[in-house]
A and B are shown apart, each in its own frame.
Chain A
Amino acid sequence: AQSVAQPEDQVNVAEGNPLTVKCTYSVSGNPYLFWYVQYPNRGLQFLLKYITGDNLVKGSYGFEAEFNKSQTSFHLKKPSALVSDSALYFCAVRDMNRDDKIIFGKGTRLHILP
């Protein structure tokens, strides 16, 4: 079965430092991977996606993600964290074996410390 895992429930980073939010996946075939962000009392917002091609994908708000096929990872990164980046982040994978549904990870809460 297709799945994604976010090994960290929470990540704390000082403002101005680089941040990484980890995601690993398990799929058969080529993965279609996504990152979403959720601010308090809001729906999810799409950040970026990997389809094919360049392993470094750039997205909204200065975020980027690195696709690593050998490690089956798709970590979210940002060179310099802002306090406003504090939110809940979800990694997701498209499940092509189950009606093209998107499977979400359990989420990682990112705290940026001023």
Chain B
Amino acid sequence: EADIYQTPRYLVIGTGKKITLECSQTMGHDKMYWYQQDPGMELHLIHYSYGVNSTEKGDLSSESTVSRIRTEHFPLTLESARPSHTSQYLCASSEFTSGPYEQYFGPGTRLTVT
């Protein structure tokens, strides 16, 4: 198992609430990613980061925001949750090298917005 952690694992929250999904890794990886995945479906990249103070939007438009103040921490925030945000959110990290590298994934956060 990779050393990448996500909390909470499950979250049920009402519409309009602000939420932050936490992601931490202890591998010292520079690159980190957030994916959105409906259960059993394909992954959509929503944010990524090359390192501290670097954040980029991914392929899927998302109303969420991210920050990268520390190498090991890459939280995702929804300012006002909506039912359309109901999904699974996966965090991943990888080494920032020019060679081929794999991504290591956390266990995911399953979010339900009522």
Contacts and interface: CB of A to CB of B under 8 A. Distances in A.
A46 B102 contact: yes
Nearest to B59: A101
B interface residue count range (under 10 / 10 to 19 / 20 to 34 / 35 or more) = 20 to 34
Contacts of B91: 43
B40 A107 contact: yes
Given A104-B42, A107-B40, A109-B40, A46 B56 contact: no
Contacts of B40: 88, 107, 109
Interface string A28-50: 00001010100001111110010
Contacts of A51: 99-100
Nearest to B106: A43
A41 B110 contact: yes
Given A88-B40, A107-B42, A43 B90 contact: yes
A107 B108 CA distance: 17
A87 B7 CA distance: 23
Contacts of A44: 43, 90, 92, 103, 105
Interface string A62-80: 0000000000000000000
Interface of B: 2, 4, 6, 40-43, 45, 48, 56, 58-59, 90-92, 99-108, 110
- For the complex of A and B, list the 7 residue pairs with the smallest distance between their C-beta atoms, beginning with the closest: A43-B105, A32-B100, A106-B42, A44-B105, A46-B102, A104-B43, A51-B100
5 contacts: A32-B100, A43-B92, A46-B104, A94-B101, A101-B59
